[in-house]
Amino acid sequence: MNSEVDEQMALISEYYPDGIYSQFVPEQGVASTKPRRRRRKNKGCEGGDGAAALRKRKLSDEQVNLLERSFGSEHKLESERKDRLASELGLDARQVAVWFQNRRARWKTKKLEEEYSKLKSEHDAAVLDKCRLQTELLKLKEQLHEAEKEIQRLSDGFSSNSPCSSFSMEVAMDPPQPFLGEFGMGLGLEHVFYASHHDNCAHGLMEWDSLYYM
């Protein structure tokens, strides 16, 4: 019922005459100084089948499965493994190499996404923690203030002073002390600063969606 009319339309796509790569690009006048071509093995038209050099897209599930398993055990691909896989799968060694390159790229992207999610949740937790700490801090300062008043009251109200007490009165009013010197700095991504993003509470809880159009 799903409008899947499969009337013939051919998915081929590419055809390598294997001798035609004419250099002329008719329009699009560019200098085209040198037609130097690199590394263009005999790929394509002498593979195994007499069927003339048809690109075949979409590897089969089995092929993908094996490739995937192989990738799972090791991302790198040495010649030997490549050739073995190629013959096992009935593919070009070139295709196997390309597949691995693309797979690595995909893996990297996915990994970045995962890391982003992880970092995001950690960050949110940290921000919440900061909130909690700040609240607690405020409460403590208040209590300390009360305590000081109490002390003042007690020591003033009765005698003039109380000996053997080295209690200092300058509490709870210390400046925020800079503290951020050098740390694990400047190694990973290019521009990772410790810029004080002055994120007080209630900040930094947005979702990855909105920043699409920016």
Residues at the contact surface with DNA, assessed by CB under 7 A: 3, 9, 11-14, 16, 36-40, 43-44, 55-59, 64, 75-79, 82, 94-95, 97-102, 104-106, 108
Residue among 65, 100, 141, 160 that touches a copy of itself (CB under 8 A)? 141
CA distance 157 to 151: 9
Amino acid 170 reads E
CA distance 103 to 47: 24
Residue 119 touches a copy of itself, criterion: CB under 8 A: yes
The dihedrals phi and psi of 145, each to the nearest 5 degrees, come to -60, -45
Contact between 40 and 19 (Cβ < 8 Å): no
Nearer to DNA, 43 or 130 (CB): 43
CA distance 62 to 90: 11
Distances (CA, A) of 172 to 57, 142, 156, 158, 175: 70, 9, 21, 25, 9
**Count of alpha carbons within 13 angstroms of residue 158, beta-carbon side:** 6
- Among the listed ranges 65-73, 77-85, 186-194, the one in contact with a copy of itself (CB under 8 A) is 186-194
Among residue numbers 29 through 58, which ones bind a copy of itself (CB under 8 A)? Answer: 30-38, 40, 48-49, 51, 54, 56
Nearer to DNA, 94 or 149 (CB): 94
Q: How far is the CB of 82 from a copy of itself (least distance, A)?
A: 18
Nearer to a copy of itself, 79 or 179 (CB): 179
Among residue numbers 145 through 164, which ones bind a copy of itself (CB under 8 A)? Answer: 146-148, 150-151, 153-155, 157-159, 162
Residue 94 touches a copy of itself, criterion: CB under 8 A: no
Query: Angle between the 61-73 and 79-89 helix axes, to the nearest 10 degrees?
Result: 160
Residue 179 touches a copy of itself, criterion: CB under 8 A: yes
